[in-house]
C-alpha cells in the first residue's frame, strides 16, 4: 500500500481509507465521544502526514500497518488536543465563525488530566509497568529485571493495563 | 479459561514496534485473519493513545524546564559526568522523572557509570550549517547507550532522529528535540551484543524532507 501511495497510485489511497477509517472512528469514539463526525478530519490529517513521510518508511524497521497506525494515532491525538482547547461552553456567545468542525460543547475530550486520573485508577502494578514501558521507554527485559518479575508478566501487565486504561477513560468520559 | 489468542498479548509490542521483524510479521498475518484480535488491537490503540498524551505532557514539561535552564545560561559541561540520568529510547521521554513523580511512580536514576565503548565526533563540514557535537557509546544494563551532546542544530526542525548503521543495517536509536539548537541526551538501544563497526547519523525532520545534519567521524 505504501509503495503505491508513494507512486501516486490512487488504489493505495483507497486501501488506506478502507483499512484505517474504522480505527480512526474507534479512536474518536474513545478520545472524543460525540466527535465522531471528525473522522474525516483525522483521516485527512493522517493522509497529509502519510504523503509527507511515506518515503521514510523502512520495512526493515517495522510493518507498514504499524507505520500507518502510528501516524493515525498521532493525528487523532493532535486533533483532539487542538479542538479541546477551543470548546465552546454551553450558553456562551460564539465569536465569529462557529462552523469549524469540533467547536461542539457536546463532545467530551480526553485531555492529559483525564489520562492522569485514569492512570491513578489503575493498580500499582499496571501503572508502574505502563509508565516504565511508555514514558521511560524501558524494554520489557529492563522492566522485568528491575521489578524482578518474568518478562511474560511484564507483557501481561502491559496488555491488560492498556485495556484497563481504555475502559477507565471511556467510563470517566461517559460520566461527565 | 482464556479465549485470548497467543498473539493477543503481543499486540502492544507489535503496535509499538518492539517485536522482531519475524514476530511482527507473524502477528500482522494473524491480525489479518482474526477478528477478535483486530478488535483487541483497537482497544489497545486507545490505551496507547492515552499513554502518548501522557508522554506529550512529559516532553512539554521537559521542554519548559530546559528552556528555563537555557535562559539562565546554564552551560553544560563538555565531558559527560558518570552516573548521569539515563533515559531510554526516544529521548523525548526525558520528562519521565517528572511525570513518574506526578504519577506516584519513582524511577531510579542510573547510579553505576556505564562502560564506555567508543566516542565519536559528530560534524557537518558545511560552513553555513556548522552543527557539531560528540557521541559517546557505552554499555548500560546490557543495552547500548548513545550519549549525544550537540550544538548548532537547525532550529526549524520539528525533531531529530539518531540513526545507527551497523553491519549494513540502519536502525533508529530514537528521536529527540533540541532547545535553541542544542541538546544533551542519552538514547538507549537494547538489547545489544558486541561492538561491530559503527557510524551514526543525526537526521533533521521538518516540513521539508529529512536530511542528515551531522554524521559520525571515527
pLDDT for A124 equals 93
Give a yes or no: residue B159 inside a domain.
yes
Q: Which domain holds residue B21?
A: 8-75
Cell digits of residue B192: 545489544
Whether ipTM tops 0.90, in short, is no
Report the pLDDT averaged over residues B170-199: 75
The residue among B184, B187, B197 whose CA lies nearest residue B149 is B184
The burial of A113, by beta-carbon neighbours within 10 Å (0-12 exposed, 13-18 middle, 19 or more buried), is given as exposed
Res A143 pLDDT > 70: yes
Contact A73, A162 (CB under 8 A): no
> Which of B75, B96, B128 is where one domain is finished?
B75
The residue among B216, B185, B214, B23 whose CA lies nearest residue B89 is B185
> Which of B33, B56, B75 is where one domain is finished?
B75
CA–centroid distance for B7 within its chain: 26
- B36 and B89 together in one domain: no
CA distance A103 to A87: 5
> Which of B75, B95, B112 is where one domain is finished?
B75
- Report which of residues B218 and B76 the model is more confident about: B218
Report the pLDDT averaged over residues B180-184: 83
Share of chain B above pLDDT 90, in %: 8
- B203 and B123 together in one domain: yes
* DSSP 8-state secondary structure symbol assigned to residue A58: -
Q: By the CB < 8 Å criterion, does A54 face chain B?
A: no
- Report which of residues A51 and B141 the model is more confident about: A51
β-bridge mates for residue B166, sequence order? B169
Tell me the pLDDT band of B78, cut-offs 50, 70 and 90: very low
CA distance A124 to B155: 40
Report the pLDDT averaged over residues B85-108: 38
pLDDT for B105 equals 38
Please give, one letter per residue, the 3-state secondary structure of B172-218.
EEEEECCECCEEEEEEEECCCCCCCCCEEEEEEECCCCCEEEEEEEC
CA distance A107 to A100: 14
Res B184 pLDDT > 60: yes
- B103 and B192 together in one domain: yes
- Segment holding B121, helix H or strand E: strand B115-123
Scan for cell 538514547, then name that residue.
Answer: B187
What is the domain-level CATH number for residue B119?
A: 2.60.40
Give a yes or no: residue B149 inside a domain.
yes
- B119 and B186 together in one domain: yes
Give a yes or no: residue B2 inside a domain.
no
Our count of domains for chain B comes to 2
β-bridge mates for residue B139, sequence order? B115, B144
**Chain B residues 66-125 with a CB less than 8 Å from chain A:** 87-90, 93, 95-96, 99-100, 102-105, 107-108
CA distance A6 to B132: 33
Residue B139: count other Cβ atoms within 10 Å of its Cβ: 15
pLDDT for B129 equals 63
- B88 and B113 together in one domain: yes
β-bridge mates for residue B170, sequence order? B165
- B187 and B104 together in one domain: yes
Report the pLDDT averaged over residues A122-137: 92
Give a yes or no: residue B175 inside a domain.
yes
Report the pLDDT averaged over residues B3-15: 86
- B104 and B140 together in one domain: yes
**Chain A residues 103-142 with a CB less than 8 Å from chain B:** 110-112, 115-116, 118-120, 127-128, 130-142
Dmax (CA) of chain B: 66
CA distance B112 to B140: 9
Give a yes or no: residue B3 inside a domain.
no
**Tens of pLDDT along A71-128?**
899 899 888 877 765 544 444 444 444 444 444 556 667 778 888 889 999 999 999 9
Q: A137–B44: do the CB atoms touch at under 8 Å?
A: no
Give a yes or no: residue B138 inside a domain.
yes
- B164 and B115 together in one domain: yes
Three-state DSSP state, B29: helix
Q: By the CB < 8 Å criterion, does A169 face chain B?
A: yes
pTM: 0.59
Minimal Cα–Cα distance from A94 to chain B, Å? 28
pLDDT for B68 equals 57
CB hemisphere CA count around A42 (13 angstroms) = 34
Minimal Cα–Cα distance from B170 to chain A, Å? 8
Give a yes or no: residue B135 inside a domain.
yes
- Mean residue pLDDT across chain A: 81
Scan for cell 499513554, then name that residue.
Answer: B51
CA distance B195 to B5: 38
pLDDT for B218 equals 54
Angle between helix A151-175 and helix A112-120 axes, rounded to 10 deg? 120
Contact A59, A66 (CB under 8 A): no
- Mean residue pLDDT across chain B: 71
Give a yes or no: residue B1 inside a domain.
no
pLDDT for A153 equals 94
- B70 and B90 together in one domain: no
- B96 and B157 together in one domain: yes
Report the pLDDT averaged over residues B70-98: 37
- B93 and B62 together in one domain: no
CA distance B210 to B205: 5
Count the helices and strands in chain B (H runs, E runs): 4, 8
Report the pLDDT averaged over residues A12-21: 90
Tell me the pLDDT band of B30, cut-offs 50, 70 and 90: very high
- B151 and B128 together in one domain: yes
Minimal Cα–Cα distance from A77 to chain B, Å? 7
Amino acid at each position: 500500500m505504501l509503495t503505491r501511495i508513494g507512486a501516486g497510485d490512487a488504489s493505495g489511497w483507497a486501501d488506506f481509507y478502507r483499512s484505517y477509517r474504522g480505527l480512526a472512528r474507534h479512536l474518536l469514539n474513545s478520545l472524543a465521544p460525540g466527535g465522531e463526525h471528525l473522522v474525516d478530519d483525522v483521516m485527512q490529517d493522517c493522509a497529509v502526514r502519510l504523503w509527507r513521510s511515506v518515503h521514510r518508511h523502512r520495512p526493515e524497521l517495522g510493518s507498514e500497518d504499524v507505520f500507518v497506525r502510528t501516524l493515525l494515532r498521532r493525528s487523532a491525538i493532535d486533533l483532539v488536543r487542538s479542538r479541546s482547547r477551543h470548546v465552546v461552553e454551553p450558553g456562551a456567545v460564539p465569536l465569529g465563525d462557529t462552523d469549524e468542525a469540533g467547536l461542539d460543547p457536546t463532545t467530551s475530550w480526553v485531555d492529559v488530566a483525564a489520562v492522569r486520573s485514569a492512570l491513578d485508577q489503575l493498580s500499582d502494578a499496571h501503572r508502574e509497568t505502563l509508565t516504565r514501558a511508555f514514558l521511560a521507554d524501558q524494554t520489557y527485559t529492563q522492566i522485568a529485571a528491575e521489578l524482578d518479575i518474568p518478562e511474560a508478566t511484564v507483557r501481561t501487565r502491559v496488555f491488560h493495563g492498556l485495556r484497563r486504561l481504555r475502559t477507565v477513560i471511556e467510563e470517566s468520559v461517559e460520566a461527565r | 479459561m482464556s479465549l485470548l489468542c497467543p498473539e493477543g498479548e503481543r499486540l502492544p509490542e507489535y503496535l509499538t514496534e518492539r517485536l522482531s521483524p519475524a514476530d511482527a510479521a507473524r502477528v500482522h498475518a494473524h491480525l489479518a485473519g482474526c477478528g477478535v484480535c483486530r478488535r483487541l488491537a483497537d482497544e489497545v490503540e486507545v490505551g496507547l493513545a492515552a499513554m502518548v498524551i501522557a508522554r506529550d505532557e512529559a516532553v512539554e514539561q521537559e521542554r519548559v524546564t530546559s528552556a528555563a535552564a537555557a535562559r539562565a545560561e546554564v552551560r553544560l559541561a563538555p565531558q559527560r559526568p558518570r552516573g548521569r540520568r539515563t533515559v531510554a529510547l526516544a529521548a523525548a521521554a526525558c520528562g519521565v522523572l517528572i511525570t513518574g513523580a506526578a504519577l506516584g511512580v519513582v524511577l531510579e536514576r542510573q547510579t553505576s557509570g556505564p562502560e564506555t565503548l567508543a566516542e565519536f565526533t559528530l560534524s557537518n563540514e558545511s560552513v553555513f550549517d556548522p552543527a557539531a557535537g560528540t557521541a559517546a557509546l557505552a554499555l548500560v544494563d546490557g543495552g547500548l547507550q548513545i550519549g549525544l551532546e550537540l550544538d548548532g542544530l537547525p532550529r526549524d526542525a520539528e525533531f531529530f532522529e539518531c540513526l545507527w548503521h551497523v553491519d549494513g543495517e540502519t536502525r533508529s536509536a530514537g528521536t529527540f528535540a533540541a532547545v535553541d539548537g542544542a541538546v544533551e541526551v542519552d538514547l538507549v538501544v537494547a538489547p545489544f551484543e558486541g561492538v561491530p563497526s559503527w557510524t551514526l547519523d543525526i537526521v533533521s525532520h521538518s516540513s521539508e524532507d529529512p536530511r542528515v545534519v551531522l554524521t559520525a567521524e571515527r
